[in-house]
Amino acid sequence: MEGCITMGLGYTLTEEVRFDGRVIQNQNFDTYELPRFSWTPKIESVLIDAQDSDPQGGGEPAIICMGGLIANAVYDAIGVRLYQLPMTPERVMKAIKEG
């Protein structure tokens, strides 16, 4: 679960393949911004013993919702919707200016 949350934060906030025409600009991990442990929040997973239901996936669902969760948090904070990932500071500032 923690890994999927971290991956979701990455695709939501920083991970983007950038092109200049048909040439990929960030061809290495030194320029492709992956999540760092130094900026990931403390994640606390709580497992619930649901004896009346069949076993289901545990980690994968966490990655699916991260874009929407962060987009809603940004909207609650600044009142502007973002529709493109990753939600970089530049895109947030542009959305604020465009109102």
Q: Tell me, what CATH number does 84's domain have?
A: 3.30.365.10
CA angle 35, 40, 43 (to 5 degrees): 130
Q: Which residues pair with 23 in a beta bridge?
A: 20
| pLDDT tens digits along 23-45 | 998 888 788 888 888 888 898 88
Residue 49 lies in a domain: no
Q: Is residue 15 part of a domain?
A: yes
Has residue 33 been placed in a domain? yes
Q: Per the structure, how many domains does the chain have?
A: 1
- Residue 87's domain comprises 2-40+60-98
The string of pLDDT tens digits covering residues 46-80 is 877 888 888 777 767 778 889 999 999 999 999 99
Decide if 88 is inside a domain: yes
- Looking at the domain assignment, is residue 46 inside a domain? no
Decide if 54 is inside a domain.
no
Residue 51 counted as domain residue: no
Whether residue 13 contacts residue 70, with contact meaning beta carbons closer than 8 Å, is answered with: yes
Alpha-helix residue ranges (DSSP H) falling in 1-99: 2-13, 60-64, 66-78, 89-98
